[in-house]
Amino acid sequence: MPGRVFKHVVKFPRSNNHRISYIVLMRSLSILAITFLFSSHSFSQSLAGEWKGGFNHGDYLFRPTPFALHISLNKDSTYRIYSYSWFESTGETVVSEVSYKMISTDSIWLEETKQVKPKKKTGCPQRFFLALKTKDGKMMMEGTWSMVPGKDCDRAMGTVFLARSDAGVPTEIPN
């Protein structure tokens, strides 16, 4: 019977041009599906661990302020996050609890919600919008930061960069 390639499965159009178009379309869709499969899982691994780097102020005149994130994975697959900022001018390390929201598989929004150490308020909470990427085989987070509005802080902002530390999953959590 003309036009049938597989019995009871697929009916191809009668002309050879349509058959070739159908085959090209199926190959293209297969390649697209495989590409999507790999790209959607590129950052599906856990973010748990120590992330170290720094943040710059908008004017870039100063050295970056050392900054780190301590991310641990909870049993319910959510994250518990603390930020650490080291301020040379005061000699203090400010530790804050951080809330988060995954924007997509390769970006995350973070906001410092509560200062844990030192007990007296020493700074202004920050928020971060970070893109996740792999650079030279190492996981990185890069993006921007700004002060949380409405907290009587100046309108400072800048860039932030972090790399996952090779130390692995952190064990120390602030009290």
pTM: 0.66
Q: Are residues 123 and 159 in the same domain?
A: yes
Q: Are residues 159 and 77 in the same domain?
A: yes
pLDDT digits (tens, 9 = 90+) for 77-104: 899 999 998 877 778 888 999 999 988 8
Lowest average pLDDT, out of 51-60, 63-72, 109-118, goes to 51-60
Q: Are residues 104 and 30 in the same domain?
A: no
CA 50 to each of CA 21, 73, 83, 111, 119: distance values in angstroms, whole numbers, following the listed order: 51, 12, 10, 17, 23
Total number of domains constituting the chain? 2
130: pLDDT strictly greater than 90: yes
Q: Are residues 10 and 87 in the same domain?
A: no
Percent over 70 (pLDDT), the chain? 64
pLDDT digits (tens, 9 = 90+) for 8-52: 445 555 555 555 655 655 565 555 555 444 443 344 567 899 999
Q: Are residues 71 and 104 in the same domain?
A: yes
Please list the residues that pair with 49 across neighbouring strands.
71
pLDDT at 165: 85
Which residues have C-beta within 8 Å of that of residue 27, sequence separation ≥ 6?
A: none
Instruction: Answer yes or no: are the C-beta atoms of 142 and 110 closer than 8 Å.
Output: no
Q: Which residue has the tokens 């007296």?
A: 120
pLDDT at 55: 86
**What rounded mean pLDDT belongs to the chain?**
75
The H or E element spanning position 84 is: strand 79-87
pLDDT at 92: 84
Q: Are residues 67 and 23 in the same domain?
A: no
